Homo-oligomer: A and B are copies of this chain.
């Protein structure tokens, strides 16, 4: 399996750095190769083409991202704690890796629809984690039984995504992670005064 060879990871990490520093469109294969310390042609021993590098970047990093969140959630007992944990982890992981945050929130979205469709595939397991938390909340009689799970998931993910994107655009000038509880409160209790 190629993914276990040392140069595979070397190239993935080089790609993240090059894209973060130069932007998606200026991230030429030759730059990634140079950053990884391999020849241009070597890239093609590990990746089918440039798009394959980018999808793999997302797969690798998002895989870790989701795994971390899934692990953290497993330690929590109820849906509310799990949701708060997910929000907290979502923010903290991206806040901890600024390069990755830039790539995930800004640069990779400049890719063409074909690539974005593949990225969406990679994202699916994460969305399912959100779905299952919501379902659990309903089963635990915490969340309203009549909520549309898809709708709630779109709200949760849309909100988190928009928040991280704004934070990246503002170049991380404020503390994202400390907003986790406020977001959680807002999502669960809504805007209305009680």
Contact = CB atoms under 8 A, between A and B. Distances in A.
Interface stretch (A2-10, A60-68, A135-143): A135-143
13 contacts: A106-B116, A109-B109, A142-B193, A143-B192, A144-B192, A148-B179, A148-B182, A155-B183, A158-B159, A158-B162, A158-B163, A189-B190, A189-B192
A68 B22 CA distance: 39
Contacts of A160: 158
Given A143-B192, A188-B192, 10 more contacts: A106-B113, A137-B191, A147-B191, A152-B191, A154-B163, A155-B158, A155-B183, A158-B161, A161-B162, A188-B190
Q: Is the interface of A mostly helix, strand, loop or mixed?
A: helix
Interface in A112-161: 112-113, 116-117, 120, 134, 137, 141-145, 147-148, 151-152, 154-155, 157-161
Interface of A: 23-25, 106-107, 109-113, 116-117, 120, 134, 137, 141-145, 147-148, 151-152, 154-155, 157-163, 166, 169, 179, 182-183, 186-194
